[in-house]
């Protein structure tokens, strides 16, 4: 069958137009984060912005919220920004005892300035104890409120390591997180971002 004469195919039109512009950013970006803190006596246990009754808490310069720290690194990584240790140095007195949800709010501002919208976050907390399941809805709500997205877009799972390692021996708690960002040029008009 003979092809009918056509105008330039759409794909070629798109390619020729693209050469006239700066290279387009990929609209979606994924990031990964990991953190671990030691469990010690005489510290409150804060996970996902929620204080959890326990005989020990996590050691750290800030409130040592290992879950929020992993999420922060996943968000920063998706935007290819410097990691949490470089954004909020552990030897900087202004972050002593810092509420990690406040640090997360600072990260949201960094992302919004760069026109990155958070699509979703997923995470896993590794802890031999205490049991965390009943606290997960409150953690989801606290993180979602800070990030300005629905709680249904914040995944949090909790698991043990079956007693197989230092986490399993109860010496610390770790967390993994991933985050997906979407480039959204409309965010440049956001009045909530202070001028730089
Ligand atoms: Zn940390």
How far away, in angstroms, is 130 Cα from ligand 1 center?
19
Assign residue 86 the CATH number of its domain.
Answer: 3.30.1330.50
Q: Where are the strands (E) in 50-189, listed by range? A: 50-52, 57-58, 116-126, 154-159, 172-183
How far away, in angstroms, is 30 Cα from ligand 1 center?
20
What are the residue ranges in the chain where pLDDT is below 70? 1-20, 25, 188-196
Q: Is residue 18 part of a domain?
A: no
In this prediction, residue 195 carries a pLDDT of 42
In this prediction, residue 187 carries a pLDDT of 87
How far away, in angstroms, is 37 Cα from ligand 1 center?
6
Range of the domain at 155: 25-189
Tens of pLDDT, residues 49-104: 999 999 999 999 999 999 999 999 999 999 999 999 999 998 999 999 999 999 99
In this prediction, residue 89 carries a pLDDT of 92
Q: Is residue 194 part of a domain?
A: no
Q: Is residue 111 part of a domain?
A: yes
The answer to whether 56 touches 134, Cβ cutoff 8 Å, is no
Instruction: Give CA–CA dist 111/105, Å, rounded.
Output: 10
């Amino acid at each position: 069958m003979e092809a009918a004469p056509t105008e330039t195919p759409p794909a070629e039109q798109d390619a020729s137009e693209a050469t006239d512009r700066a290279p387009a950013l990929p609209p979606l970006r994924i990031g990964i984060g990991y953190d671990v803190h030691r469990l010690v006596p005489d510290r409150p246990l804060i996970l996902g912005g929620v204080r959890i009754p326990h005989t020990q808490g996590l050691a750290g310069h800030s409130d040592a919220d290992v879950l929020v720290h992993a999420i922060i690194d996943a968000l920063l990584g998706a935007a290819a920004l410097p990691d949490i240790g470089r954004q909020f140095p552990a030897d900087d007195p202004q972050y002593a005892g810092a509420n990690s949800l406040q640090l997360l709010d600072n990260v949201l501002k960094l992302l919004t300035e760069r026109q990155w919208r958070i699509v979703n976050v997923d995470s896993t907390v590794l802890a031999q104890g205490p049991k965390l399941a009943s606290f997960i809805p409150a953690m989801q709500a606290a993180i979602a409120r800070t990030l300005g997205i629905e709680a249904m877009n914040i995944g949090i799972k909790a698991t043990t390591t079956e007693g197989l390692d230092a986490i399993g021996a109860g010496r610390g708690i770790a967390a993994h997180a991933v985050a997906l960002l979407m480039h959204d040029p409309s965010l440049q008009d956001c009045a909530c971002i202070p001028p730089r």
